[in-house]
Structure 1
């Protein structure tokens, strides 16, 4: 079934909940229901480093990985610069364990630097655009994520747009042309094509829990799904979001 219209055969309950979440999120922190960290996504690992330190974790930078040590089929440590960091479980991305992942496709990404907002976005300083597959006679959607000086990731008056999609043909740049036309004129663009890897197994035996490579989506939905899947593979149970929800008195100061 065509992925862009299969929602027509689904119950409306999920859609209603999504609309409810959207409306509850509006104007909670600013004019948008979406959050994006100032100074870029690098602030997320910064936050993790601080939280990790509170719980006794050690955050090491610029440490090359020489070897992942496995004994009796199970990970026991990681060797770096002659030293071994012992562990009972290892969480990593596909680049560290190429023999344990398989290629399932490719993604093309183009980073464009602009001196203007994207047309037909009401001069928004940030936006997400999804060009449906049917509209451009493709099997995959085309994604555009635009951020700007408003997020402290670019100079004043500059905008950064990332265009991405799943590669389907021999000339990937032609596949994203509809999105690039939306961004014109562009000052500069940087094109990259990366392989899409997924783990061969769940890591139950080896305790090497591998994430999937980033796909073409730019709204983080599949990334969040991968994080939840990694948590389940690590602990054997689903993450309980109910424990994370703020209580009424946290929000309104009421009992």
Structure 2
């Protein structure tokens, strides 16, 4: 089976507890797990950033704030894990060794954050390298990689394809503090460069985008690969 690692934004999965996409992702991932070996890393989203803002207001240092954010990612991951039921390994992987061990079950492996100072995008990139993934997907709230945040600048340029070196150039100015919110961070970009695993960035607010990208090769997003060729369908 082909191996895919999905980095799923916490704000995509759980925009709020009252309005979430857990059922949608449960249905999509359970279907994909019949064809692919699936690893998914869940971010903390807006909830993590709210906790981190409170921590900073209390004078708590960045490392401790990161630890707080990691706790929230694991709560989000647990919600999805339990919703997946028998389709997933019944524990949230707390590190890469856990993920490799859980993958032996051939079930979906779910992770949250791992290390202070490292975003879940970076966790996903390292995980993809460790499991020798065929593809890394970043399912976010934006339909690809832009020259600037398109939510703030409507004239931002969207990139359909780029090399890892192009990606590093774009994200090198990103902020790296606890709770940072960029399309992908510099650490992740450099890991993608060295591993040479292709990356797809797509809009994860509709799970059909994820399923159709993998199965049909139809998606609206950006491709990052050394050859600039789209690896989909997988």
> Based on CA coordinates, which of the two structures has the bigger radius of gyration?
1
Normalised by the length of structure 2, the TM-score is 0.26
Higher helix share: 2
Normalised by the length of structure 1, the TM-score is 0.24
Q: Identify which of structures 1 and 2 has the higher relative contact order when contacts are C-alpha pairs closer than 8 Å and 6+ apart.
A: 2
